[in-house]
């Protein structure tokens, strides 16, 4: 469990970001002879010492396969792994641990739903609704499913600020709509979608909803029962945890009704050549030896975030977003892409006549890590008629000094090209 670094006293927020930064070993390193300024958190976050130590402890102290062994190591590893499942349940307020399926990440979670719900509930002439804000992981699986099942993919438009157009969404829903799958927060723009209203309207018409929460859970408090989501997905590596681990939340009635996706060990109760009896959820969807260390590391990451407090995280990142927005708008020729009224910590932008890859390369020489490209969201780039953007994305350990360094680096980019 991490030390609590943020408290509220007499209505005033006290937030020790310097202490938080000291828990991330990589933030003390230099890149190209300059102190690292890490602003690529929407791609992956850095890891605190608590997560690194949890991974090391697993391999040094209790390394064994889980669920099947009666020996001490296997039982201790199983206990740690299943404790992480309970941490994930608590983190998003799922009703039970049976609703928490461990997967490799958001991409696998969405594909799991496409292969189980999609292949049993989507037929010729049916429709799936997504939005123009989606990551490729929430587009391509549905395109593949629609091609296979002869269904149709419908897309909710966004406005010039990068905001979900709710009226258009309402008009897309009809008697053929079988699923709504949208992002909670856009990875390319940071737009926060009105997911509570999206879910309420869909469910009033008997349509289940999947939310891609990869960019939400590191920054916002998520309560899946309060939202009413049928499926919710997120990845460990974007929330200070390891790569290769994530969560699919599914409401109990769905996980019990849907067939397994993959076959193998641990997802069965009994096997004979005459047939197989499947295990109960969530194990029905977890074939084979899982990413044990990843699950344990995810549990450590969740405990670390809870120690800091998501309310404190959100407040700190919102202040940084406002500071960064004001600072970037002062740069001549800089165009912010995505100015939604409800927005998480993403600053996506272009500079007139300068390719984003050139921006990223020059900033890297100053030790500043941002992301450039289409961010696995090419339809978003097409909507704004740009091939790519430069994207600075924030995390709890970022500071106004990081923003100042970014602005100084961008000033250098402008001077070099003009």
Q: Do 56 and 242 contact (CB within 8 A), yes or no?
A: no
Q: Residue 418: its pLDDT value, please?
A: 78
DSSP 200-253: HHHHHTT--EEEE-TTTTTTS---HHHHT-SEEEEEGGGTTS-SS-EEEEE-HH
Cα 397 to the center of its chain, rounded Å: 18
CA distances from 380 to 111, 114, 160, 270, 384 (A): 21, 22, 11, 47, 7
Name the residues annotated as catalytic.
376
Q: Residue 99: its pLDDT value, please?
A: 98
The 10s digit of each residue's pLDDT in 25-36 is 999 999 999 999
For residue 350, give both structure tokens. 């272009």
State the architecture of 6-48+309-417 in CATH terms: Alpha-Beta Complex (3.90)
Residue spans in the chain of domains classed CATH 3.40.640.10 = 53-306
**Short-list 256, 293, 300, 290, CA closest to 95:** 256
> Residue 287 above 90 pLDDT?
yes
> Residue 12 above 90 pLDDT?
no
The 10s digit of each residue's pLDDT in 339-391 is 999 999 999 999 999 999 999 999 999 999 999 999 999 999 999 999 999 99
**pLDDT band (50, 70, 90) for residue 9:** very low
Q: Residue 78: its pLDDT value, please?
A: 98
**pLDDT band (50, 70, 90) for residue 15:** confident
Q: Residue 11: its pLDDT value, please?
A: 40
Q: Backbone phi, then psi, for 309, in 5-degree steps?
A: 100, 115
Q: Say if residue 332 is exposed, middle or buried (CB neighbours under 10 Å; 0-12, 13-18, 19+).
A: exposed
DSSP 123-178: -TT-EEEEETT--GGGTHHHHHHHHHHT-EEEEE-B-TT--B-HHHHHHH--TTEE
Q: Residue 14: its pLDDT value, please?
A: 60
Fold of 53-306: 3.40.640
> Residue 1 above 70 pLDDT?
no
**pLDDT band (50, 70, 90) for residue 68:** confident
Coil, strand or helix at 22: helix
**pTM, full prediction:** 0.95
**pLDDT band (50, 70, 90) for residue 3:** very low
Coil, strand or helix at 14: strand
Residue spans in the chain of domains classed CATH 3.90.1150.10 = 6-48+309-417
The 10s digit of each residue's pLDDT in 71-117 is 999 999 999 999 999 999 999 999 999 999 999 999 999 999 999 99
Taking residues 188-192, what's their average pLDDT?
A: 98
The 10s digit of each residue's pLDDT in 207-253 is 999 999 999 999 999 999 999 999 999 999 999 999 999 999 999 99
> Residue 323 above 90 pLDDT?
yes
């Amino acid at each position: 469990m991490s030390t609590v670094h943020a408290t509220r006293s007499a209505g005033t927020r006290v937030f020790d970001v310097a202490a938080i930064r000291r828990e991330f070993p990589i933030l003390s390193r230099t890149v190209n002879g300059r102190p690292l300024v890490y602003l690529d958190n929407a791609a992956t976050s850095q890891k605190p010492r608590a997560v690194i130590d949890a991974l090391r402890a697993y391999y040094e102290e209790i390394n064994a396969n889980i669920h099947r062994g009666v020996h001490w190591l296997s039982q201790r590893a199983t206990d740690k792994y299943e404790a992480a499942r309970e941490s994930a349940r608590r983190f998003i307020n799922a009703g039970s641990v049976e609703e928490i399926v461990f997967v490799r990440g958001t991409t696998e979670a969405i594909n799991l739903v496409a292969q189980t719900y999609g292949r049993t509930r989507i037929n010729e002439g049916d429709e799936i609704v997504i939005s123009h804000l989606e990551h490729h992981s929430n587009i391509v699986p549905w395109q593949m499913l629609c091609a296979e099942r002869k269904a149709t993919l419908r897309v909710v438009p966004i406005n010039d600020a990068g905001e979900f157009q709710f009226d258009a969404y309402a008009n897309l829903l009809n008697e053929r709509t079988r699923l709504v799958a949208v992002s909670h927060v856009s990875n390319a723009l940071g737009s926060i979608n009105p997911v509570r209203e999206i879910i309420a309207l869909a469910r009033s018409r008997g349509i289940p909803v999947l939310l891609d929460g990869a960019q939400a859970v590191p920054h916002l408090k998520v309560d899946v029962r309060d939202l009413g989501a049928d499926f919710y997905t997120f990845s460990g590596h974007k929330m200070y945890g390891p790569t290769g681990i994530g969560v699919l939340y599914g409401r109990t009635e769905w996980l019990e009704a849907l067939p397994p996706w993959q076959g193998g060990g641990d997802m069965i109760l009994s096997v004979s050549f005459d047939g197989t009896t499947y295990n109960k959820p969530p194990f029905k969807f977890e074939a084979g030896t899982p990413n044990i260390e990843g699950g344990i590391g995810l549990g450590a990451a969740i405990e670390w975030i809870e120690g800091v407090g998501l309310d404190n995280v959100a407040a700190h990142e919102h202040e940084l977003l406002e500071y960064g927005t004001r600072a970037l708008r002062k740069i001549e020729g800089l165009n912010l892409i995505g100015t939604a009224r409800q927005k998480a910590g993403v600053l996506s932008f272009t500079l007139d006549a300068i390719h984003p890859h050139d921006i990223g390369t020059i900033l890297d020489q100053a030790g500043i890590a941002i992301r450039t490209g289409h961010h696995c969201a090419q339809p978003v780039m097409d909507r704004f008629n740009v091939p790519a953007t430069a994207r600075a994305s924030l995390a709890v350990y970022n500071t106004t000094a990081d923003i100042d360094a970014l602005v100084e680096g961008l000033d250098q980019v402008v001077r070099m090209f003009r």
